[in-house]
Amino acid sequence: QSVLTQPPSASGTPGQWVIISCSGGSLNIGSDYVYWYQQLPGTAPRLLIYKNNQRPLGVPDRFSGSKSGTSASLAISGLRSEDEADYYCAAWDASLSAWVFGGGTKLTVL
């Protein structure tokens, strides 16, 4: 059971808009930044979004992050086949003194 809750799966067709949610609590998402990672099959995770809504260089602006209260979302617009991957949210949990991850969302591009 992960501290952060994500839907196990999501899907969309090419060109569509998809949103992946991440729900936490007051001592993780509610009080600190949220980070999002993309993991393509058989590869290491890659930082997609940091500090709730910031994109590292090289991440397309089709990817955007937001946070409200104890929940966060990753939005992907103009879905492409290469977006098919697992997506994880993460945040620091002040009560556990630990980084916590969501269980991951497997995105399928139909």
Partner 1 sequence: EVQLVESGGGLVQPGRSLRLSCTASEFTFGDYAMSWVRQAPGKGLEWVGFIRSKAYGGTTEYAASVKGRFTISRDDSKSIAYLQMNNLKTEDTAVYYCNGGADAETYWGQGTLVTVSS
- Pairwise CA distance, residues 67 & 85, whole Å: 22
For position 27 contacting partner 1 by CB under 8 A, the verdict is no
- Pairwise CA distance, residues 1 & 71, whole Å: 17
Q: CB of 14: closest distance to partner 1 in angstroms?
A: 26
Q: Are 105 and 87 in contact (CB under 8 A)?
A: yes
Which of these segments, 19-27, 61-69, 73-81, 83-91, binds partner 1 (CB under 8 A)? 83-91
- Pairwise CA distance, residues 65 & 87, whole Å: 12
Which of these segments, 11-19, 61-69, 77-85, 95-103, binds partner 1 (CB under 8 A)? 95-103
For position 97 contacting partner 1 by CB under 8 A, the verdict is yes
Nearer residue to partner 1 within complex by CB, 12 or 103: 103
- Pairwise CA distance, residues 51 & 15, whole Å: 26
For residue 47, give the 3-state DSSP assignment: strand
Binding site for partner 1 (CB under 8 A): 2, 37, 39, 43-47, 50-51, 54, 56-57, 86, 88, 90, 96-104
